[in-house]
Amino acid sequence: MTISKQRSPGLPQARGELSAALIGHLRGDAGPLPDESAVARATPYGDDLQLALYLGYELHYRGFDGVDDAREWDPALIAVRGLLEDRFLTALREDAKRDHDVDDAFDELLVEPVHGTGVSYFLQDEGELWQLREYAVQRSLYHLKEADPHAWVLPRLWGRAKAGMAAVEFDEYGGGRAERVHAKLFADLMEDLGLDTAYGRYVDAASAQMLATVNLMSLLGLRRSLRGALLGHFATLEVTSSPSSRRMALAMKRAGAGAAAEFFYTEHVEADAVHEQVVRHEVIGGLLEQEPELAPDVVFGVDATVFLEDRFGDHLLGHWQARKSSLRTPLPQ
């Protein structure tokens, strides 16, 4: 396989009127951008709205090939993104709402079911190589920029919360070693699985459910007012990562995926077990010691993350158990 080395990905294919209008605008077309009524008609978790949001957010990461970097702060695009975000946020606040406090929310995350039924359990027990490859394709939208959405919160913290968050992020970025940056480790995993490691390569193949999980990180990271929710989101990933990574490492080993594929997850078993303690006690604890009024936002970050991850898991398992591809564009056999 030829692995693309371009720095910025090309623009993806549109999935509806919203994403088509944004892609046209980024290409320099003169057509109108979506208005409030067009956004209101869109399904909040659907392909079109989620891809449109993704397009807006990626301008803050690596951008797109052939699109001027100045588009990052295009006032018209920022205005449309605000409409899309509000539609997404409103739906999440309604659908992910739970009646519990911070301690209860994290206590629930720490409970490992005796007979788990999630994606990592399925892949550990009966996952096949084609399913592991699809999982890597979907997750590549996040893992090839792992830690980047969360780095935006650092200037918005101070004291214990800032120090703890910086310590965890330092580990995510390889502790100063380029070959240990977690995004690089995931690219190594993809190579073991025979996948293209280019950033953004598989956006067209990824499901709306995966786009939504990635968009949540960017949405929370880019809004200072949602810093508490971003930390709730980040803590959820860290608390749940170690046990699920253990299962994923076993799945990779059983399927013969390769040493690098196994290593990505074994690295997370140990690292995230430590991170979970730092995030809960220093980052979340430090934040709420300084700004106790942000507790409801932390809970929202937890609940929104769990809600979207559950939707993504249901999508994967529903397709795989029916022996169907979870991707919009299946991988070549």
Short-list 22, 20, 17, 149, CA closest to 80: 22
Give pTM, 2 decimals: 0.94
> Within 13 Å, how many C-alpha atoms sit on residue 21's CB side?
17
Instruction: Write out the E strands in 11-92.
Output: none
Listed in sequence order, the residues at least 6 apart from 164 whose beta carbon sits closer than 8 Å to its beta carbon are 278, 279, 281, 282, 283, 286
* Burial class for 178, CB neighbours closer than 10 Å (0-12, 13-18, 19+): exposed
Q: How far is CA 218 from the centre of its chain?
A: 8
CA distance 89 to 82: 10
Query: Are 102 and 221 within 8 A, CB to CB?
Result: no
* Helix/strand number for the chain, H first, E second: 15, 0
Secondary structure letter of residue 45 according to DSSP: T
Listed in sequence order, the residues at least 6 apart from 88 whose beta carbon sits closer than 8 Å to its beta carbon are 44, 45, 49, 50, 53, 212, 215, 219
Query: Are 118 and 315 within 8 A, CB to CB?
Result: no
* CA quadruple 164, 313, 23, 64: dihedral sign: positive
* CA quadruple 60, 263, 276, 308: dihedral sign: positive
Short-list 64, 1, 4, CA closest to 198: 4
Q: What is the pLDDT along the chain (333 residues), one digit of tens a residue?
A: 334 445 899 999 999 999 999 999 999 988 899 999 999 999 999 999 999 999 999 999 999 999 999 999 999 999 999 999 999 999 999 999 888 899 999 888 887 776 778 999 999 999 999 999 999 999 999 999 999 999 999 999 999 999 999 999 999 999 999 999 999 999 999 999 999 999 999 999 999 999 999 999 999 999 999 999 999 999 999 988 889 999 999 999 999 999 999 999 998 887 767 788 899 999 999 999 999 999 999 999 999 999 999 999 999 999 999 999 999 999 987
Q: How far is CA 204 from the centre of its chain?
A: 16
37: left (phi over 0), alpha (psi -120 to 50) or beta: alpha
